[in-house]
Amino acid sequence: MRIETLAVHAGAEPDETRALAPPIHLSTTFEHPPDSRELDGYLYSRYGNPTQDRLERALTALDGGDRCLVYGSGMAAAAALMTALPRGSHLVLADDTYFSVRTLARELGARIGFEVSLVDATRLEAVRGALRPGTRCVWIETPSNPHIRIADIAGVAELARGAGAVLVVDGTFATPILQRPIALGAHVVLHSCTKYMGGHSDVQAGALVIGGDAELLATLGGQRMLHGAVASPMSSWLVLRGLRTLACRMEWHCRSAAAVAEALAAHPAVEQVNYPGLADHPHHRLAATQMKAFGGMLSLRVRGGRARALAAAGRLRLLRNATSLGSTESLCEHRESVEGPDSPTEPDLLRLSIGLEHPDDLIADLDQALRG
């Protein structure tokens, strides 16, 4: 079954009512006999919920994993993985992962006792050089945030497996429609379901799809139950609904982003465009081999520095200045401002999430904003 069909039907098994729309089970607790046995697989919503289970089955199928755990946010999923690392572990983390993930790794590492090495994950020799006997996890994000860099998933997976480490791939920007890291050797795929999977800026959730690591799955499952970082039934249902249109939305996001990137690359006010669909992107050929299409995210550097970048962002009329990505509306974000005083992002960089508007309208808006 092709993934577009799978996205429509996964997790949609009919219940006793034969309803085509999956039900939402809002109950926080489920009746059980005096000895607390589970009658139908459920006791308490922190342990498990039927709607959350549907979403987990759907995401497992889409990513080709063995099991999925859904969380209240993408960061909750990231925190779960990091707190599952044994004390004294070494984590190799790509230096262009989401800024909050890097901050979380630094703070959690200091608190619970694991070391972190930041590395340019687009260079296999750099990843190889960062590995140690105590390396237990290699963590990459591809395409990356905010520079839209591409890491060789299969190549990094080979290095990680050779070192006895788990490879985690943040696949939020690509989604399983464009890229399936487990098929390329990854152990875990992390998704912020808040983004493309929800797709409408109205739900927050995260997920870990796990392929073939029973020990890690058992650790994470027990930990989630104790920490209570589950997704709500309503959030699970909204993400599940979003999956039904994910394939067609991603097709439009990709097509429009490619058109916007081409226009910006020729714009006199733009210093650089980061989009793997452009032939001059340094990782264009790699992206073409491991992605079905090049995604809906891009970033650009504005000539003239920070002040001109902020001025251009302030003149936008159609694109909105807002955090997040992957929704119907197009968004612009000055990443250095969002990341704060410790941001390593260039001050002239703007990140764009290309939505479902007509690309010609987006190009016109960006042109007038950049020209001032």
Q: Which of 42, 71, 98, 275 is catalytic?
A: 98
Orientation of helix 359-371 relative to helix 246-265, angle to 10°: 40
Residue 211 Cα distances to 162, 214, 305, 320, 339, angstroms: 17, 8, 44, 37, 32
Q: Which of 46, 303, 306, 320 is catalytic?
A: 46
Q: How far apart are CA 328 and CA 245, in angstroms?
A: 12
Q: Which of 96, 170, 348, 365 is catalytic?
A: 170
Q: Tell me which amino acid residue 298 is.
A: L
Decide if 170 is catalytic.
yes
SS3 120: coil
SS3 91: strand
Q: How far apart are CA 303 and CA 72, in angstroms?
A: 39
Decide if 98 is catalytic.
yes
Strands (E), the chain: 67-71, 90-94, 115-119, 135-141, 166-170, 188-192, 206-210, 270-274, 297-302, 320-321, 331-334, 349-353
What is the dihedral angle through the alpha carbons of 84, 45, 68, 222, rounded to the nearest 10 degrees?
30
Give the CB-side neighbour count of residue 4, counting CA atoms within 13 A.
6
Q: How far apart are CA 148 and CA 97, in angstroms?
A: 10
Q: How far apart are CA 63 and CA 155, in angstroms?
A: 19
- Residue that is written with structure tokens 């009658």 in the block: 39
The reply to whether omega before 22 is within 30° of 0 (cis) is: no
Decide if 47 is catalytic.
no
Decide if 106 is catalytic.
no
Q: Which of 195, 224, 292, 301 is catalytic?
A: 195
Q: 135-141 and 115-119: which strand pairing?
A: unpaired
The size of the chain, in residues, is 372
Host H or E run for residue 107: helix 99-112
Catalytic residue numbers?
46, 98, 170, 195
